[in-house]
Structures are given as structure tokens and as C-alpha cells.
Structure 1
Amino acid sequence: MLNPVAWWRQQLRGTFSNNSPTVPQWELDLEMGDDAGYFGPDSAAWAVHGSMTTLVAGIQALLIQALHPGALAGVHDHSNYRTDPLGRLAGTIQWIFTVTYGDTVAAIKASARVQRLHGYVRGNYTTNAGEQRPYTANDPDLLRWIHLAFTQAFLATHQAYGGAIPGGPDAYVADWAVAGALMQVKDPPTTVRELQTQLATFNGELRCDERAAEAIAFIRHPPLPRSQRAGYRILFAAAVAALPPLYRELMDLHVPGLGPVPLPVKIPTQVVFAVVRASLESPGPSETAARARRTRLGVQDAPRKRR
């Protein structure tokens, strides 16, 4: 029988791996491949995606994405997020980490697989002008919105709660533009200014209607084990606090506070990060596999810095 600490760690690891009892095979397979991959240990992508801030970023990305009625229609009509949220989370993590840590062939194949799955996601949604518009998950505008929302969330939350980014914020936007290109996003932003400019072009299309409110409520209260709920409430508050004000207002979400005085969320968030970090492998299996591949290929990397 597991002791309480070991049991809690097993539950936590299961949340990120769809309850896999062992390290998923796809992570181990990242050690294979014939090149160093698109990114390395000194990249902005490794710094951001290898940090604990991804726990907040994932929440924020889902919140932002839900504001576009076309993107939300695809999730509402075709996703099984209500009945299998861990499966959807695990699939997203697999794509992000494969592109970040895998060799170029693995990254290309993972992105192509997502696009094939997207080919089945199609339907219609109502625009803010009241028009019926057809959508597919591979629609260029929707692909751009998802990419922009992801980049915005991961950058903003790391800036709020994480450490330094090698090369600065622009370097992260430029790194993740590679992922955008793999997903067939045309001319993805490569600087923070371009990111904000492209996001602004969607402002008139965004809304928080009943369907969006339902999705946001699910994101706010997902069916997590009881042992993880208090920590998740802190992470959700951190995601809300780091949202751009426009998006926060659309969703009618508020930074926790006592009346008009906002409560600090950074320190509690850092405490949650520390607890999770102590419960998971550091570095994680994906980064460990990537470093082993790079060593096999003779790529000289600097020693890993703690993030």
C-alpha cells in the first residue's frame, strides 16, 4: 500500500499523463531521432515550457481560446473535454513537448497528426454580426487564433510567475512561431509587438456568451482529485490575474481581492509550484530524453540550470 505522500504524487503525475502508471512511451521515444530538434537547452522555448509556469499557462490559454465563437464551436461540438478532460490534456501536452524537445521529424509528424484530427472537426457557428459561418479546425483564421492565444498565455504567465527568458520575450514569440508554421499558420508573429497586433485584429470577433460561460465554468472547476483542488484554485486565480484586462472583462473574471484591494497571487502560486516540483521528476522525462538524444548525436550542451 502506498503511503499518503506517494499516493498524492501518483495522483498528481496521473493528472498530466492521463493516469498512465509509467512514463508514457512517447516521452521515452523523444530520445530517438537524427537531429538536435528545433530548440535546445539555451532556447526560450525550453526555458518557458520546462518551467512550472506552464501549469498556469495551460489554464489561461484555454480561457482565451474560449472567447472566439468559432474555436469554441469546434470544442463544443466535437471535443470530449467534459467526459475525458485528462485525455485531452495529455494529448495537448504530447504535442507541445514533442515539438519542444523532439527531433524535427518527430515535431513535424506530431503536428501533422493534429492536423489530420482537425480535418474531422467542422460545423457552423454564429458570428457577432448574426451570420452563420462554416468552420473547420484547420481554418486559417482559427489556427491563427489558437496559436496566438497559446503564445500570449505562455509568455504572459511566465513573465508574471517565472524566471528570465533567454533572449527575452521576443525570443519566445519567435521560437513558438516555428510551431505555428508547423501547424500551417501563415506568417505567425515573431515579436511581442507583432503578437499584440495580430491579437487585436480578433477583438471584434470575441464574445463571452452562454456557451463560453459554460466552458469557463468547467475550466474553473474541473473534475480533479480532491487533493489537487486547493492548489488548482490558486493556479486559476494566477491565470486570471495575468490575463490581459480586455479578456478578463469579457469573461467577467476578477483578480481575488478584499473589496477594491487585490490580493497577492504570486507567492501562493510559487508555493504551489514548489509542491508540484517536489512531486515530479526534475528535469522531466521529455527534457531528459532530449538531452540523451543530443548527447548521442554529439551536441554539446551547457549543464542544466534549475528553473
Structure 2
Amino acid sequence: MKVHEALLVSGDLKNNALQEVFSKRFRTLLTGDPDGVPPWLGAVAASDEPGLYLPDQAPWVVHADLATLVGGIRALLMQALHPGSLTGVREHSRYKNDPLGRLSGTIRWLTVTTFASTASVGKEADRVNHMHAHVKGKYTTSSGSKVDYTAADPHLLRWVHIAFMESFLRCHQQYSPRPIPGGADAYIRLWSKSVIPLGLDEVPMSESEMRADLERYRPELCVTDETRDVIRWIKNPPLPATSLPAYTFLFKAALASMPRDYQQMIGLGEPSLRLIRPVTVNLLKFIRLAIGPESPIEEAAIERLHRAGLMKDGKLLARSEDAESGS
């Protein structure tokens, strides 16, 4: 082997070693597992059956992208603006005592629902429904009245679904170079399947319906001292010091992607999306470079689709209707 070839090989090995280190730390942060192995990997790999989505469909593409790092923060901010979902988080969530545990629980539901078999999705929905059964109480509405609530209340569950879905969609549109198969309408329509096992079957099925729903919920949103307390925590969570600089910027990116009136409600400034976008895109590219291109979750899901007879040699045997419709 020539000297320059040996140096290139040595450099690749060093890069791979660094990627393994960064990848383990990154996945440990998101999953809570000290080895960086997602505890729900087995649920994704299990069975020889298909799931709700295929690799060429919008939910798979959106949720496999690192723009979800921004979308997740944005979704928390959106949900905090509704006093019902806010009270549920404050009174029944371990977000302050075990923030990474709550984060990993949310990631688990998103990951299993997107990439696992329908049987695993059903089991995950049962887990979430069991937790929701214990989340109940009273909250003060934006008009000052006291009302009863439960986490399974279709009205509140619909708001959480819309806030979640709209956040991941907008952040992908703003910060990811990957087109969405079938566009926004396909993502919204297909992701509606995710909440059926949670007991919610009336949700927006298009971007126009989603926007109309957001307008209907707008009078219910408000900011109180309790809201500000939760938002302060979202802005400054107890993360490892090495993660805080990147998180601080991703928080700004999440805020920049929100509508102006939502930014004004939150009261933390109105960062320019035009200035934030290129930096965020490059930051996400850097994170991907640092952790490497491998995705254990996607790899496990694709192996399962091979066993299910839907893929061969890494390719889908038939493209989905949404993929055929373009982006």
C-alpha cells in the first residue's frame, strides 16, 4: 500500500472512530440508554409484518430527518400555549425531575409508530393510552373559567396532534433539503393513522384543514405565569454542558419557524427565519456528519420489510401511491 493510501485509510478509521463516539453520545442523550442503543429497537425489528408507513412515504421521510430535532422543540412550545395540554404536562409529567426520561418516552412513541410493525404500534398505543388514563384534573381556560380535562379528551388530544404534526412539517420544510413525498397534504393525511390507536379518528386530512383547525384553537391559547415557567424550562433544560450550545441555537430555530403572533405570545423575541435558516441547515448537516449516516432504527425497519416481502436488495418492490404522486 502506498503512503498516501495508508494515510487516507488511517484518516477514515479516525473519522469512523470519532463518529462512533459522537453517535453513541447523541443516541444516549435521546434515548437515555448508556450504550446509545434505543430501548425500542426491538419493537421496530420485531415480526415479519409491515407497519403503517413505507420508506418512500412522507411520515417516514420526515421523521427520519434531523430536522425533527427542531420540530420536537417547536412542538413543546406549541403545546405549552394551550392551558389544557400545559396543565397535563405540569401536573402529570416528570419533565423537571427526569427530563431525558420524558424525552425518550416521546421519541419512543414517534419512532415505533413511524417505523415498527402494526402489532408493535398497537402495543405502543396501549402503553400511551394506559398513561393517559391517569392524566386528569382541572385547568383554567384563556377566559378564566375552570374546566375538567383528561389526556384522552378528543379536543385536547386533537390539539396535541395538530401542534406536533404542524411543527414537524414546518421544520422539515424550513430546515431539511429532502422533499416530502406527496407534499404537505400527504404527510398530514398519512400521519392521521398514527392517532387512530389513541382513540382519535377526526383530525385534519390536508394542509388547508390543518390551518383552519389552528385558527379554531387560537382563541384558547394563552400565556400565564405557568406557561412562562414551562417555556423557561424548554429554553434551558438540564442538558449536558457539551450539548447546550447546539440546543440553544436549535431552540432559536424552533422559535423562528413559528408564526409571528405565536412568537409574540411567547415573548422571547422574533428571530429572523431568513437569517436562522441557512445556519440551521448547516448545523444539522454538521450533526449528521459527526454522528455518521447510520440509523439503527431505519436499518431494523428495512430488514423487517425485507422479511415481509415488501423490499428486495434494498429497494421497494412497489412504490406507494403517495410516492408516485411526487412532492
Q: TM-score, normalised by structure 1?
A: 0.91
* Structure 1 counterpart of 2:288, one-letter code: R
Structure 2 stretches lacking a partner, 5+ long: 1-16, 317-327
Shift of 1:267: 2.2
Matched, 1:176 2:187: no
Answering whether residue 296 of structure 2 is matched by residue 279 of structure 1, we say no
Q: Answer with 151-160 or 262-271: which moved more.
A: 262-271
**Counterparts in 2 of 1:49-68, with a 5 A limit?**
49-68=63-82
Q: Does the CA-based 8 Å contact 2:27-2:36 persist in structure 1?
A: no
* 2:53 aligned partner: 39
Q: Is the 8 A contact 2:23 2:291 kept in 1?
A: yes
Letter in 1 for 2:301: A
For 2:275 and 2:36, how far apart are their aligned partners in 1?
37
Note if contact 1:45-1:176 (Cα within 8 Å) is conserved in structure 2.
yes
1:124-163 → structure 2 map (5 Å cutoff): 124-162=138-176, 163=178
* Counterparts in 2 of 1:295 and 1:226: CA distance versus 1, 3 Å: same
On the 8 A contact 1:234/1:268 being kept in 2, the answer is: no
Alpha-carbon distance, 1:156 to partner? 0.5
Counterpart Cα distance in 2 of 1:60 and 1:40: 26
Superposed CA deviations along residues 106-157 of structure 1, whole A, max 9, x for unmatched, are 1121112101101111111111222111111111111001000001100010
**If you compute each CA radius of gyration, which structure gives the higher value, 1 or 2?**
2
CA deviation after TM superposition for structure 1 residue 15, in Å? 1.0
* Pairing 1:269–2:283 present: no
Q: Structure 2 CA distance, aligned partners of 1:182 and 1:280?
A: 33
Point out the more displaced range, 269-278 or 34-43.
269-278
Give how far 1:42 is off.
Answer: 0.4
1:211 paired to 2:222: no
Give 3-state SS (helix, strand or coil) of 2:261's partner. helix
1:244 shift after superposition: 1.8
Contact (CA 8 Å) 1:241, 1:254: kept in 2 or not? no
| Contact 1:44–1:171 (Cα < 8 Å) also in 2 | yes
Q: Which residue of 2 aligns with 1:12?
A: 26
Please list, as runs of the form range in 1=range in 2, the aligned pairs for 1:85-234 lying within 5 A after superposition.
Answer: 85-162=99-176, 163-234=178-249
Output the CA distance in 2 between the equivalents of 1:199 and 1:106.
31
In structure 1, distance between residues paired with 2:211 and 2:191: 15
- Secondary structure of 2:310's match? coil
Q: Is the 8 A contact 2:30 2:104 kept in 1?
A: yes
1:201 Cα deviation (Å)? 1.1
CA distance in 2, matches of 1:286, 1:185: 26
User: Matched residue of 1:264: which SS?
Assistant: helix
Q: Distance in 1 between matches of 2:229 and 2:181?
A: 38
**Counterpart of 2:4?**
none
Return the alpha-carbon distance in structure 2 between the equivalents of residues 263 and 195 of structure 1: 24
Contact 1:18 1:90 in 2 (8 A): yes
Aligned-residue CA RMSD in angstroms? Answer: 1.9
Task: Name the aligned partner's letter for residue 185 of structure 2.
Answer: D
How far 1:234 sits from its partner (Å)? Answer: 1.3
Query: 2:269 is matched with which residue?
Result: 254
1:290 pairs with 2:301:
yes
Give the secondary structure class of the aligned counterpart of 2:275. Answer: coil
Asked whether the 8 Å contact 1:8–1:227 carries over to 2, the reply is no
Aligned-pair identity (%): 37
Match of residue 255 from structure 2: 240
More helix by share: 2
Q: What does the per-residue CA deviation read over 1:251-301, in whole Å, with 9 as the maximum and x for residues that have no partner?
A: 1232336xxxx7611222123212321233534211111100011121126
Q: Which runs of 5+ in 1 are unaligned?
A: none
Task: Tell me if the contact between 1:95 and 1:110 (Cα under 8 Å) persists in the aligned partners.
Answer: yes
State the alpha-carbon separation in 2 of the partners of residues 117 and 28 from structure 1: 21
Distance in 2 (alpha carbons) for counterparts of 1:274 and 1:63: 24
Corresponding pairs, count: 298
Q: Distance in 1 between matches of 2:303 and 2:223?
A: 45
